[in-house]
Amino acid sequence: MFESYGTGEKLTQAGFLAEKTTTLVFLRFSTVLGNRGSADTVRDTRGFSVKFYTDEGTFDLVANNIPVFFIQDGIKFPDLIHAAKPHPDREIPQAQSAHDTFWDFVSLHTEAQHHTLWNMSDRGIPAPTA
């Protein structure tokens, strides 16, 4: 359940952000590179997606733990995924970037270099809080 503090009330009329309003939510945490069953302990961007089942309809939210994104132009998304994901003919490497296609892409896109620098920081392997 999501309970609103009401801090967004001045910014929006969305009913579920009114103070003390509770909303049923579905939440999923994910990594970017790893396929189903890959390790959760790898160095990668962490994402989360939330479905808010509000009285006014479902509100979907996705977010990452890195404040910049690999690309700034959506048309590059398929190229990013092809570069980062495992080689289709052998499904390796899994959940990590140890292959030429990824570094080739990063070397050619400054926005991907910025994202990768963040991934190489402690954000890349979030430490479990107590």
The residue among 91, 97, 76 whose CA lies nearest residue 31 is 97
Apex CA 63: angle with CA 125 and CA 14, to 5°? 150
Q: In what order do the strands lie in the sheet with 2-3?
A: 2-3, 22-31, 46-54, 57-64
CB of 88 to ligand HEM, least distance (A): 17
CA 101 to chain centre: 21
CB of 42 to ligand HEM, least distance (A): 16
Cα–Cα distance for residue pair 57/78, rounded to 1 Å: 30
CB of 82 or CB of 100, closer to ligand HEM: 82
> By Cβ distance, which residue is nearest to ligand HEM?
47
Q: Is 28 in the site for ligand HEM (CB under 6 A)?
A: yes
Q: Is 38 in the site for ligand HEM (CB under 6 A)?
A: no
Query: Which one among 1, 10, 13, 74 touches ligand HEM, defined by CB under 6 A?
Result: 74
Q: Is 48 in the site for ligand HEM (CB under 6 A)?
A: yes
CB of 49 to ligand HEM, least distance (A): 4
Query: Which one among 4, 30, 54, 65 touches ligand HEM, defined by CB under 6 A?
Result: 30
Binding site for ligand HEM (CB under 6 A): 28, 30, 47-49, 62-64, 69, 71, 74, 77
